[in-house]
Chain A
Amino acid sequence: SAVISQKPSRDICQRGTSLTIQCQVDSQVTMMFWYRQQPGQSLTLIATANQGSEATYESGFVIDKFPISRPNLTFSTLTVSNMSPEDSSIYLCSGQGLRGGYTFGSGTRLTVV
């Protein structure tokens, strides 16, 4: 199955700033996704990263706050913009493999102060 490298692994950021998270997949995946996991909760899908076009966002998430790029099949970025303490979460990228299973990156632990 694919291996996803995600960075940074953690960061502490000032409110009002932005952070870009990167994910690199070592082999082809059919789809890529971005999730948020707030403290003590399960995963919530932010958006589907579409290659070469705008991402598809879930209800409650907007492009201005979470711009996403996917310039090719194996790379995607998520930016968390104009951060506030409520954005403190673990952010995870995921890829869907050819057998339909999902692989996840190691996560980015974001703390906004």
Chain B
Amino acid sequence: KQEVTQIPAALSVPEGENLVLNCSFTDSAIYNLQWFRQDPGKGLTSLLLIQSSQREQTSGRLNASLDKSSGRSTLYIAASQPGDSATYLCAVRSNDYKLSFGAGTTVTVRA
């Protein structure tokens, strides 16, 4: 069974600082990995999708890397803003269709 761990569980930074969020998974036989953002009481917004054959994806201030062999992904958010405050979830799709979620990293960006 795929186990997904996210570290740290919570993070508080001043505005402008770069954010580094970590995700690790136990089974390297994955189909893809997806990073989501969740605001309190809301649904999930997809940020980046990395296929198993890719090593990174970028969108604006966001960059995610994938090292499948070591079972790790890192989400970088450059020049953080108060609007980046949310919970960030890492989800791994194994070769079946199911997603395995980490518990999330709750980010607070202080103005």
Residues of A within 8 A of B (CB): 1, 6, 10, 31, 33, 41-43, 45, 48, 90, 92, 94, 96, 99-107, 109
Contacts and interface: CB of A to CB of B under 8 A. Distances in A.
Interface stretch (B43-51, B67-75, B78-86): B43-51
A6 B31 contact: no
A60 B30 CA distance: 25
B61 interface: no
Contacts, number: 52
B41 A92 contact: no
Contact of B41 (A1, A42, A107): A107
Contacts of B103: 41-42
A43 B38 CA distance: 11
Interface size grouping (class) on chain B: 20 to 34
Residues of A contacting B: mostly: strand
A60 to B, nearest CB: 14
Nearest to A104: B44
A101 B54 CA distance: 14
A48 B96 CA distance: 12
B97 A48 contact: yes
Given A42-B104, A96-B97, A102 B34 contact: yes
A48 to B, nearest CB: 7
B31 A92 contact: no
5 contacts: A43-B89, A48-B97, A100-B31, A102-B93, A104-B36
A106 B40 CA distance: 11
Contacts of B49: 99-101
Nearest to B103: A42
Contacts of B101: 42-43
Contacts of A102: 34, 46, 91, 93, 99
Given A43-B101, A102-B99, A107 B34 contact: no
A99 B36 CA distance: 16
